Amino acid sequence: MVRTKRPLICIIAKGRKEEPPFSITETYLDAVNSAGGEPVLMPSVMTDPESFLEYVDGFIVPGGGDVEPELYNGLPHPTIYGVDPGRDRFEIKSIHFAIDKGLPSLFICRGMQIAIAAFGGDLIPHIPDEYGTPDEYGTLVRHRLDLPSKKWHPTEHVVNITTTDSRLAKVIQKTEISTVSCHHQAVRTIPPDWRAVAKAPDGIIEAVEHLYHPWAIGVQWHPELSINDSASQRLFEAFIEATYIRRAGGLVPSQSVEASTTWYEL
């Protein structure tokens, strides 16, 4: 395939209420750069995000604070933090546009949660309330490390790719990987046109895919924090490769589940 300019990858920046506002962690930029893309930030205060997305080749919705509970029929919880209703609604609008247009899309951590909420799925408000028993190995799965100082940090745990015909399985090329995660919420139910394709040993959904979109994958972990890991590299590289294929006219939406598993081959 003949490649010209590097693809422009839109990453939604932090919201107005986050510190610093309208910024992004540099690891996202490094991951996109190393995979062959050119990252550009989109602040979540634009009145017409669709006009911006028309000019980019790929779309990333990154991590951040919690999603507003009322968006997924959830209840308030004392551990919920960093809610930014303006960012939530901006991202939902942008996600629907990206899915409708077949724009290659990668949803990371909160990004996966807001994508699922955008299409009618719901979330687990606080994982330890529902997944606080030992897993099959006799130990708890730590999805993030909560310290006595009330600060939280990323932690590592295993993720199992459960759907072998998924695009994620073809990209990762493994059925079990070690991931870095930093979340206390997770997807509970999957909306129509999406499917779960990976889980943690405790049953938490760790990855989703859209059935009819050419390349829309959500992961609950943070691949940008371990870009030197081969699985994380392949995820970003496959995402960038999908933008080239779309640019060449090779990615189009499908109306059948069977076709959705064969649109893109690594």
Tokens found for residue 84: 């930014």
For residues 160 and 198, the answer to whether their CB atoms sit within 8 Å is yes
What is the C-alpha separation between 264 and 266, in angstroms, rounded? 7
In eight-state DSSP terms, residue 58 is E
Q: What is the largest CA-CA distance in the chain?
A: 54
| 16-22 LR contacts (CB < 8 Å, sep 24+) | 16/44, 16/45, 16/84, 16/86, 16/87, 17/65, 17/82, 17/84, 17/86, 17/87, 18/64, 18/65, 18/82, 18/84, 18/87
- Residue 181: strand, helix, or coil: strand
Catalytic residues: 109, 222, 224
- Residue 29: strand, helix, or coil: helix
C-alpha closest to that of 59 among 14, 102, 121: 102
What is the C-alpha separation between 184 and 125, in angstroms, rounded? 8
For residues 194 and 207, the answer to whether their CB atoms sit within 8 Å is no
C-alpha closest to that of 143 among 128, 130, 161: 128
* Neighbouring-strand partners of residue 152: 146
